[in-house]
Chain A
Protein backbone atom coordinates (compact mmCIF):
# COMPACT_ATOMS: atom_id res chain seq x y z
CA UNK A 1 0.00 0.00 0.00
CA UNK A 2 1.40 3.36 -0.99
CA UNK A 3 1.19 6.55 1.03
CA UNK A 4 -1.59 7.89 -1.18
CA UNK A 5 -3.51 4.65 -0.79
CA UNK A 6 -3.08 4.86 2.95
CA UNK A 7 -4.43 8.42 2.91
CA UNK A 8 -7.33 7.20 0.83
CA UNK A 9 -8.02 4.59 3.51
CA UNK A 10 -8.12 7.37 6.08
CA UNK A 11 -10.73 9.19 4.04
CA UNK A 12 -12.78 6.07 3.44
CA UNK A 13 -12.69 4.26 6.75
CA UNK A 14 -11.80 6.67 9.57
CA UNK A 15 -15.40 7.67 10.18
CA UNK A 16 -16.61 4.07 10.06
CA UNK A 17 -13.98 2.97 12.55
CA UNK A 18 -14.82 5.92 14.75
CA UNK A 19 -18.54 5.11 14.67
CA UNK A 20 -17.84 1.45 15.41
CA UNK A 21 -15.57 2.37 18.30
CA UNK A 22 -17.93 5.04 19.60
CA UNK A 23 -20.83 2.59 19.72
CA UNK A 24 -18.68 0.10 21.56
CA UNK A 25 -16.77 2.37 23.90
CA UNK A 26 -19.50 4.98 24.49
CA UNK A 27 -16.77 7.56 25.06
CA UNK A 28 -15.59 9.84 22.24
CA UNK A 29 -12.07 10.19 23.59
CA UNK A 30 -11.62 6.45 23.90
CA UNK A 31 -13.10 6.01 20.45
CA UNK A 32 -10.65 8.54 19.00
CA UNK A 33 -7.81 6.71 20.67
CA UNK A 34 -8.96 3.44 19.15
CA UNK A 35 -9.05 5.08 15.71
CA UNK A 36 -5.55 6.48 16.14
CA UNK A 37 -4.18 3.14 17.31
CA UNK A 38 -5.80 1.35 14.37
CA UNK A 39 -4.39 3.70 11.76
CA UNK A 40 -1.02 3.81 13.45
CA UNK A 41 -0.79 0.04 13.23
CA UNK A 42 -1.95 0.14 9.64
CA UNK A 43 0.76 2.69 8.83
CA UNK A 44 3.41 0.56 10.49
CA UNK A 45 2.42 -2.33 8.22
CA UNK A 46 1.29 -0.33 5.21
CA UNK A 47 3.93 -1.92 2.99
CA UNK A 48 2.59 -5.41 3.62
CA UNK A 49 -1.15 -4.68 3.82
CA UNK A 50 -3.06 -4.48 0.57
CA UNK A 51 -5.58 -1.70 0.08
CA UNK A 52 -8.33 -4.27 -0.55
CA UNK A 53 -7.80 -5.84 2.86
CA UNK A 54 -7.15 -2.57 4.67
CA UNK A 55 -10.73 -2.15 5.86
CA UNK A 56 -10.80 -5.62 7.39
CA UNK A 57 -7.36 -4.99 8.93
CA UNK A 58 -8.54 -1.72 10.46
CA UNK A 59 -11.67 -3.20 11.99
CA UNK A 60 -9.74 -6.19 13.29
CA UNK A 61 -7.17 -3.93 14.89
CA UNK A 62 -9.86 -1.68 16.31
CA UNK A 63 -11.76 -4.64 17.76
CA UNK A 64 -8.65 -6.13 19.35
CA UNK A 65 -7.69 -2.74 20.74
CA UNK A 66 -11.13 -2.42 22.29
CA UNK A 67 -10.91 -5.91 23.79
CA UNK A 68 -7.53 -4.98 25.28
CA UNK A 69 -9.07 -1.77 26.56
CA UNK A 70 -11.97 -3.58 28.20
CA UNK A 71 -9.64 -6.01 29.90
CA UNK A 72 -7.76 -3.17 31.58
CA UNK A 73 -10.76 -0.89 31.94
CA UNK A 74 -11.74 0.51 35.29
CA UNK A 75 -15.42 0.49 36.19
CA UNK A 76 -17.31 2.93 33.97
CA UNK A 77 -18.37 6.08 35.71
CA UNK A 78 -21.36 8.25 35.05
CA UNK A 79 -19.05 11.06 33.94
CA UNK A 80 -17.98 9.08 30.91
CA UNK A 81 -21.58 8.49 30.04
CA UNK A 82 -22.25 12.21 30.29
CA UNK A 83 -19.28 12.95 28.02
CA UNK A 84 -20.68 10.58 25.44
CA UNK A 85 -24.02 12.33 25.52
CA UNK A 86 -22.45 15.76 25.13
CA UNK A 87 -20.34 14.90 22.11
CA UNK A 88 -21.85 16.18 18.82
CA UNK A 89 -21.11 12.91 17.09
CA UNK A 90 -22.88 11.04 19.83
CA UNK A 91 -25.78 13.45 19.74
CA UNK A 92 -26.18 12.69 16.06
CA UNK A 93 -26.70 9.04 16.93
CA UNK A 94 -29.21 9.72 19.63
CA UNK A 95 -32.74 8.88 18.74
CA UNK A 96 -36.09 9.16 20.31
CA UNK A 97 -38.72 6.52 20.71
CA UNK A 98 -38.09 3.06 19.30
CA UNK A 99 -34.58 3.85 18.06
CA UNK A 100 -33.58 5.13 21.48
CA UNK A 101 -34.84 1.89 22.96
CA UNK A 102 -32.76 -0.05 20.43
CA UNK A 103 -29.69 2.02 21.29
CA UNK A 104 -30.16 1.25 24.94
CA UNK A 105 -30.91 -2.37 24.18
CA UNK A 106 -27.66 -2.63 22.26
CA UNK A 107 -25.78 -1.77 25.41
CA UNK A 108 -27.70 -4.36 27.33
CA UNK A 109 -26.85 -7.38 25.20
CA UNK A 110 -23.62 -9.38 25.29
CA UNK A 111 -20.61 -7.49 23.89
CA UNK A 112 -19.82 -10.06 21.22
CA UNK A 113 -23.41 -9.99 20.01
CA UNK A 114 -23.31 -6.23 19.91
CA UNK A 115 -20.07 -6.30 17.97
CA UNK A 116 -21.26 -8.69 15.29
CA UNK A 117 -24.55 -6.82 14.88
CA UNK A 118 -22.75 -3.50 14.52
CA UNK A 119 -20.34 -4.93 11.97
CA UNK A 120 -23.20 -6.54 10.09
CA UNK A 121 -25.58 -3.59 10.06
CA UNK A 122 -23.31 -0.56 10.00
CA UNK A 123 -20.55 -1.80 7.75
CA UNK A 124 -22.33 -4.54 5.81
CA UNK A 125 -19.60 -7.10 6.47
CA UNK A 126 -20.20 -10.69 5.46
CA UNK A 127 -20.18 -13.50 8.01
CA UNK A 128 -16.69 -14.44 6.85
CA UNK A 129 -15.35 -10.91 7.30
CA UNK A 130 -16.93 -10.61 10.72
CA UNK A 131 -15.37 -13.95 11.58
CA UNK A 132 -11.94 -12.67 10.54
CA UNK A 133 -12.35 -9.56 12.64
CA UNK A 134 -13.67 -11.24 15.76
CA UNK A 135 -11.85 -14.56 15.48
CA UNK A 136 -15.05 -16.58 15.22
CA UNK A 137 -16.06 -19.01 12.53
CA UNK A 138 -19.00 -18.29 10.24
CA UNK A 139 -21.45 -20.47 12.17
CA UNK A 140 -20.54 -18.77 15.44
CA UNK A 141 -20.96 -15.38 13.82
CA UNK A 142 -24.37 -16.31 12.50
CA UNK A 143 -25.60 -17.71 15.81
CA UNK A 144 -24.33 -14.65 17.67
CA UNK A 145 -26.15 -12.35 15.29
CA UNK A 146 -29.30 -14.38 15.71
CA UNK A 147 -29.07 -14.38 19.50
CA UNK A 148 -28.30 -10.70 19.55
CA UNK A 149 -31.26 -9.84 17.36
CA UNK A 150 -33.49 -12.08 19.39
CA UNK A 151 -32.36 -10.33 22.56
CA UNK A 152 -32.99 -6.95 20.94
CA UNK A 153 -36.38 -8.13 19.77
CA UNK A 154 -37.30 -9.22 23.25
CA UNK A 155 -36.27 -5.84 24.65
CA UNK A 156 -38.20 -3.98 21.97
CA UNK A 157 -41.24 -6.19 22.63
CA UNK A 158 -40.99 -5.46 26.35
CA UNK A 159 -39.01 -2.28 27.12
CA UNK A 160 -39.42 -2.98 30.81
CA UNK A 161 -36.45 -5.29 30.38
CA UNK A 162 -34.26 -2.18 30.23
CA UNK A 163 -35.34 -0.97 33.62
Chain B
Protein backbone atom coordinates (compact mmCIF):
# COMPACT_ATOMS: atom_id res chain seq x y z
CA UNK B 1 0.00 0.00 0.00
CA UNK B 2 3.05 2.17 0.15
CA UNK B 3 2.82 2.97 -3.54
CA UNK B 4 -0.90 3.90 -3.14
CA UNK B 5 -0.40 6.74 -0.74
CA UNK B 6 -3.04 9.43 -0.64
CA UNK B 7 -3.23 12.68 1.29
CA UNK B 8 -5.15 13.10 4.53
CA UNK B 9 -7.46 15.50 2.72
CA UNK B 10 -8.39 12.73 0.29
CA UNK B 11 -8.91 10.31 3.16
CA UNK B 12 -11.27 12.80 4.80
CA UNK B 13 -13.16 13.15 1.50
CA UNK B 14 -13.54 9.36 1.29
CA UNK B 15 -14.71 9.27 4.88
CA UNK B 16 -17.28 12.01 4.21
CA UNK B 17 -18.51 10.13 1.15
CA UNK B 18 -18.98 6.91 3.08
CA UNK B 19 -20.64 8.71 5.98
CA UNK B 20 -23.09 10.30 3.56
CA UNK B 21 -22.15 13.84 4.48
CA UNK B 22 -21.48 15.07 0.91
CA UNK B 23 -24.00 16.70 -1.37
CA UNK B 24 -25.14 14.56 -4.33
CA UNK B 25 -23.05 16.63 -6.74
CA UNK B 26 -19.89 16.34 -4.60
CA UNK B 27 -20.51 12.65 -4.07
CA UNK B 28 -20.89 12.03 -7.82
CA UNK B 29 -17.76 14.01 -8.56
CA UNK B 30 -15.76 12.04 -5.97
CA UNK B 31 -17.10 8.73 -7.29
CA UNK B 32 -15.82 9.63 -10.74
CA UNK B 33 -12.44 10.54 -9.22
CA UNK B 34 -12.30 7.18 -7.41
CA UNK B 35 -12.93 5.36 -10.69
CA UNK B 36 -10.10 7.21 -12.33
CA UNK B 37 -7.58 6.91 -9.44
CA UNK B 38 -6.60 3.31 -8.45
CA UNK B 39 -4.89 4.47 -5.23
CA UNK B 40 -8.01 6.31 -4.18
CA UNK B 41 -10.11 3.28 -5.07
CA UNK B 42 -7.92 0.98 -2.97
CA UNK B 43 -8.26 3.24 0.05
CA UNK B 44 -11.97 3.61 -0.59
CA UNK B 45 -12.39 -0.18 -0.47
CA UNK B 46 -10.39 -0.37 2.75
CA UNK B 47 -12.50 2.35 4.30
CA UNK B 48 -15.64 0.46 3.29
CA UNK B 49 -14.33 -2.59 5.15
CA UNK B 50 -14.18 -0.66 8.41
CA UNK B 51 -17.97 -0.37 8.55
CA UNK B 52 -19.22 -3.04 10.94
CA UNK B 53 -22.30 -5.15 10.40
CA UNK B 54 -24.54 -5.65 13.46
CA UNK B 55 -24.26 -9.21 14.71
CA UNK B 56 -27.34 -11.07 15.91
CA UNK B 57 -26.86 -11.10 19.66
CA UNK B 58 -29.77 -11.80 22.01
CA UNK B 59 -29.77 -10.82 25.66
CA UNK B 60 -30.62 -14.08 27.45
CA UNK B 61 -32.38 -12.71 30.57
CA UNK B 62 -34.63 -10.06 29.06
CA UNK B 63 -37.71 -11.26 30.95
CA UNK B 64 -35.97 -10.88 34.27
CA UNK B 65 -35.60 -7.16 33.56
CA UNK B 66 -39.31 -6.64 33.02
CA UNK B 67 -41.50 -5.16 35.71
CA UNK B 68 -45.02 -5.94 36.73
CA UNK B 69 -47.48 -3.47 38.19
CA UNK B 70 -49.33 -6.19 40.12
CA UNK B 71 -47.49 -5.49 43.33
CA UNK B 72 -48.37 -1.85 43.16
CA UNK B 73 -52.06 -2.68 42.87
CA UNK B 74 -51.89 -5.14 45.76
CA UNK B 75 -50.16 -2.63 47.99
CA UNK B 76 -52.65 0.04 46.96
CA UNK B 77 -55.71 -2.05 47.79
CA UNK B 78 -54.12 -3.34 50.96
CA UNK B 79 -53.35 0.14 52.21
CA UNK B 80 -56.79 1.33 51.14
CA UNK B 81 -58.56 -1.44 53.02
CA UNK B 82 -56.36 -0.91 56.07
CA UNK B 83 -57.16 2.78 56.08
CA UNK B 84 -60.87 2.05 55.70
CA UNK B 85 -60.75 -0.42 58.58
CA UNK B 86 -59.04 2.10 60.83
CA UNK B 87 -61.55 4.78 59.89
CA UNK B 88 -64.47 2.44 60.61
CA UNK B 89 -63.04 1.52 63.98
CA UNK B 90 -62.54 5.15 64.83
CA UNK B 91 -66.04 6.14 63.82
CA UNK B 92 -67.62 3.17 65.56
CA UNK B 93 -65.74 4.12 68.71
CA UNK B 94 -67.64 7.39 68.66
CA UNK B 95 -71.01 6.08 67.65
CA UNK B 96 -71.28 2.79 69.50
CA UNK B 97 -73.79 3.05 72.37
CA UNK B 98 -72.04 2.71 75.70
CA UNK B 99 -74.45 0.04 76.98
CA UNK B 100 -73.45 -2.57 74.42
CA UNK B 101 -69.97 -3.44 75.51
CA UNK B 102 -69.57 -2.63 79.15
CA UNK B 103 -70.76 -5.74 80.93
CA UNK B 104 -73.42 -6.29 83.55
CA UNK B 105 -73.09 -2.87 85.13
CA UNK B 106 -73.98 -1.22 81.88
CA UNK B 107 -76.91 -3.53 81.31
CA UNK B 108 -78.16 -2.61 84.71
CA UNK B 109 -77.75 1.03 83.89
CA UNK B 110 -79.68 0.59 80.68
CA UNK B 111 -82.56 -1.05 82.48
CA UNK B 112 -82.72 1.79 84.93
CA UNK B 113 -82.51 4.37 82.20
CA UNK B 114 -85.69 3.08 80.58
CA UNK B 115 -87.84 4.42 83.38
CA UNK B 116 -85.79 7.42 84.38
CA UNK B 117 -87.47 10.85 84.56
CA UNK B 118 -86.25 13.48 82.11
CA UNK B 119 -86.81 16.49 84.31
CA UNK B 120 -84.06 18.12 86.40
CA UNK B 121 -81.35 16.39 84.45
CA UNK B 122 -78.42 17.93 82.74
CA UNK B 123 -75.09 16.75 81.39
CA UNK B 124 -72.16 18.63 82.73
CA UNK B 125 -70.80 20.99 80.08
CA UNK B 126 -67.15 20.10 80.42
CA UNK B 127 -65.73 17.30 78.41
CA UNK B 128 -64.01 15.87 81.41
CA UNK B 129 -67.21 14.57 82.99
CA UNK B 130 -70.10 12.78 81.43
CA UNK B 131 -71.86 11.83 84.65
CA UNK B 132 -75.50 12.87 84.79
CA UNK B 133 -76.13 14.82 87.98
CA UNK B 134 -79.53 15.84 89.27
CA UNK B 135 -79.48 19.39 90.46
CA UNK B 136 -80.67 19.90 93.96
CA UNK B 137 -83.65 22.25 93.89
CA UNK B 138 -83.95 22.61 97.63
CA UNK B 139 -81.34 22.92 100.30
CA UNK B 140 -80.75 19.50 101.73
CA UNK B 141 -80.50 19.50 105.47
CA UNK B 142 -79.39 15.92 105.84
CA UNK B 143 -76.24 15.12 107.73
CA UNK B 144 -73.47 12.91 106.43
CA UNK B 145 -74.93 10.02 108.35
CA UNK B 146 -78.30 10.33 106.69
CA UNK B 147 -76.62 10.65 103.31
CA UNK B 148 -74.76 7.47 103.89
CA UNK B 149 -77.92 5.73 104.88
CA UNK B 150 -79.75 6.94 101.85
CA UNK B 151 -76.96 5.82 99.56
CA UNK B 152 -76.99 2.43 101.18
CA UNK B 153 -80.62 2.12 100.25
CA UNK B 154 -79.82 2.79 96.66
CA UNK B 155 -77.08 0.19 96.67
CA UNK B 156 -79.44 -2.32 98.22
CA UNK B 157 -81.93 -1.71 95.51
CA UNK B 158 -79.41 -2.21 92.77
CA UNK B 159 -78.04 -5.36 94.32
CA UNK B 160 -81.48 -6.81 94.86
CA UNK B 161 -82.52 -6.11 91.32
CA UNK B 162 -79.44 -7.77 89.97
CA UNK B 163 -80.18 -10.93 91.91
CA UNK B 164 -83.86 -11.18 91.10
CA UNK B 165 -83.74 -10.01 87.48
CA UNK B 166 -86.58 -7.58 88.12
CA UNK B 167 -87.09 -4.00 87.06
CA UNK B 168 -85.03 -1.55 89.10
CA UNK B 169 -86.41 1.51 90.80
CA UNK B 170 -83.71 3.53 92.46
CA UNK B 171 -83.85 6.94 94.00
CA UNK B 172 -81.32 9.73 93.79
CA UNK B 173 -78.84 10.06 96.62
CA UNK B 174 -77.84 13.23 98.43
CA UNK B 175 -74.24 13.66 99.53
CA UNK B 176 -72.80 16.93 100.76
CA UNK B 177 -75.84 18.89 99.55
CA UNK B 178 -75.43 17.39 96.06
CA UNK B 179 -77.80 14.83 94.69
CA UNK B 180 -75.96 11.97 93.03
CA UNK B 181 -77.89 10.25 90.34
CA UNK B 182 -78.99 6.75 91.12
CA UNK B 183 -77.19 5.40 88.05
CA UNK B 184 -73.88 6.27 89.59
CA UNK B 185 -74.83 4.79 92.89
CA UNK B 186 -76.20 1.64 91.32
CA UNK B 187 -73.24 0.96 89.11
CA UNK B 188 -70.64 1.87 91.66
CA UNK B 189 -70.76 -1.56 93.22
CA UNK B 190 -70.00 -3.37 89.97
CA UNK B 191 -67.14 -1.16 88.95
CA UNK B 192 -63.79 -2.57 89.93
CA UNK B 193 -61.44 -0.17 88.15
CA UNK B 194 -61.13 3.28 89.67
CA UNK B 195 -61.61 6.15 87.27
CA UNK B 196 -62.80 9.72 87.05
CA UNK B 197 -66.32 8.77 88.14
CA UNK B 198 -65.07 8.04 91.60
CA UNK B 199 -66.61 11.01 93.29
CA UNK B 200 -68.13 11.56 96.66
CA UNK B 201 -69.71 8.14 96.56
CA UNK B 202 -66.46 6.23 96.94
CA UNK B 203 -64.80 8.80 99.15
CA UNK B 204 -67.63 8.48 101.70
CA UNK B 205 -67.22 4.69 101.80
CA UNK B 206 -70.78 3.80 100.96
CA UNK B 207 -71.68 0.27 101.87
CA UNK B 208 -74.92 -1.65 101.76
CA UNK B 209 -76.58 -3.60 104.53
CA UNK B 210 -79.19 -6.30 103.97
CA UNK B 211 -81.62 -4.69 106.44
CA UNK B 212 -81.69 -1.32 104.79
CA UNK B 213 -81.95 -3.01 101.42
CA UNK B 214 -85.23 -4.70 102.24
CA UNK B 215 -86.59 -1.72 104.08
CA UNK B 216 -86.12 0.75 101.31
CA UNK B 217 -86.88 -1.26 98.20
CA UNK B 218 -90.43 -0.13 98.06
CA UNK B 219 -89.68 3.55 98.44
CA UNK B 220 -87.34 3.76 95.52
CA UNK B 221 -88.35 5.90 92.59
CA UNK B 222 -86.32 5.77 89.45
CA UNK B 223 -85.44 8.99 87.66
CA UNK B 224 -85.78 8.93 83.90
CA UNK B 225 -82.89 9.63 81.60
CA UNK B 226 -83.41 11.13 78.18
CA UNK B 227 -84.08 8.39 75.69
CA UNK B 228 -80.95 7.36 73.85
CA UNK B 229 -80.69 7.91 70.12
CA UNK B 230 -80.13 4.90 68.02
CA UNK B 231 -77.09 4.64 65.80
CA UNK B 232 -78.85 5.86 62.67
CA UNK B 233 -80.29 8.87 64.43
CA UNK B 234 -76.87 9.71 65.81
CA UNK B 235 -75.23 9.55 62.41
CA UNK B 236 -77.98 11.70 60.92
CA UNK B 237 -77.60 14.18 63.72
CA UNK B 238 -73.83 14.36 63.31
CA UNK B 239 -74.20 14.74 59.59
CA UNK B 240 -76.66 17.61 59.98
CA UNK B 241 -74.37 19.28 62.47
CA UNK B 242 -71.29 18.90 60.33
CA UNK B 243 -73.13 20.22 57.31
CA UNK B 244 -74.50 23.17 59.26
CA UNK B 245 -71.01 23.97 60.50
CA UNK B 246 -69.56 23.93 57.03
CA UNK B 247 -72.42 26.09 55.74
CA UNK B 248 -71.90 28.56 58.56
CA UNK B 249 -68.17 28.64 57.97
CA UNK B 250 -67.33 27.05 61.29
CA UNK B 251 -64.65 24.49 61.95
CA UNK B 252 -65.25 21.42 64.15
CA UNK B 253 -63.45 21.83 67.40
CA UNK B 254 -61.39 18.97 68.76
CA UNK B 255 -60.28 19.05 72.35
CA UNK B 256 -58.07 16.56 74.13
CA UNK B 257 -58.02 16.67 77.87
CA UNK B 258 -56.42 14.62 80.64
CA UNK B 259 -59.24 13.90 83.05
CA UNK B 260 -57.62 11.75 85.65
CA UNK B 261 -54.55 13.19 87.26
CA UNK B 262 -54.44 11.04 90.33
CA UNK B 263 -50.91 9.76 90.94
CA UNK B 264 -52.06 6.23 91.71
CA UNK B 265 -54.04 5.78 88.52
CA UNK B 266 -53.10 5.72 84.92
CA UNK B 267 -53.97 9.11 83.44
CA UNK B 268 -57.00 8.95 81.23
CA UNK B 269 -57.59 11.18 78.25
CA UNK B 270 -60.85 12.30 76.78
CA UNK B 271 -61.21 13.49 73.25
CA UNK B 272 -64.14 15.73 72.41
CA UNK B 273 -65.23 16.57 68.90
CA UNK B 274 -67.59 19.51 69.06
CA UNK B 275 -69.98 19.97 66.19
CA UNK B 276 -72.81 22.49 65.94
CA UNK B 277 -75.12 20.87 68.48
CA UNK B 278 -73.44 17.59 69.35
CA UNK B 279 -70.40 16.82 71.37
CA UNK B 280 -68.85 13.47 70.58
CA UNK B 281 -66.92 12.14 73.50
CA UNK B 282 -64.52 9.29 73.71
CA UNK B 283 -61.82 8.45 76.13
CA UNK B 284 -58.69 6.39 75.94
CA UNK B 285 -56.13 5.21 78.37
CA UNK B 286 -52.57 5.10 77.08
Contacts and interface: CB of A to CB of B under 8 A. Distances in A.
Interface string A27-43: 00000100110010001
A7 interface: yes
Contacts of B62: 10-11, 14-15
A116 B11 CA distance: 19
A145 B16 CA distance: 11
B47 A149 contact: yes
Contacts of B11: 150
A118 B52 contact: yes
| Main secondary structure on A side of the interface with B | helix
Interface of B: 1, 11-12, 15, 19, 43, 46-47, 49-62, 65-69
Contacts of B55: 19, 92-93
A93 B57 contact: yes
Nearest to A21: B59
A36 B61 CA distance: 9
Nearest to B56: A92
Contacts of B60: 32, 89
Contacts of A152: 49-50
B65 A153 contact: no
A50 B247 CA distance: 46
A17 B52 CA distance: 16
B50 A153 contact: yes
A153 B46 contact: yes
A74 B11 CA distance: 38
B15 A149 contact: yes
A163 B65 CA distance: 41
Contacts of A10: 62, 65-66
A32 B50 contact: no
A157 B51 CA distance: 14
Nearest to A89: B57
Given A3-B69, A10-B62, A15-B57, A156 B46 contact: yes
Given A14-B65, A153-B50, 8 more contacts: A6-B66, A15-B58, A89-B58, A89-B60, A106-B52, A117-B52, A153-B47, A157-B1
Contact of A122 (B19, B47, B54): B54
Given A153-B43, A153-B46, A156-B49, A18 B57 contact: yes
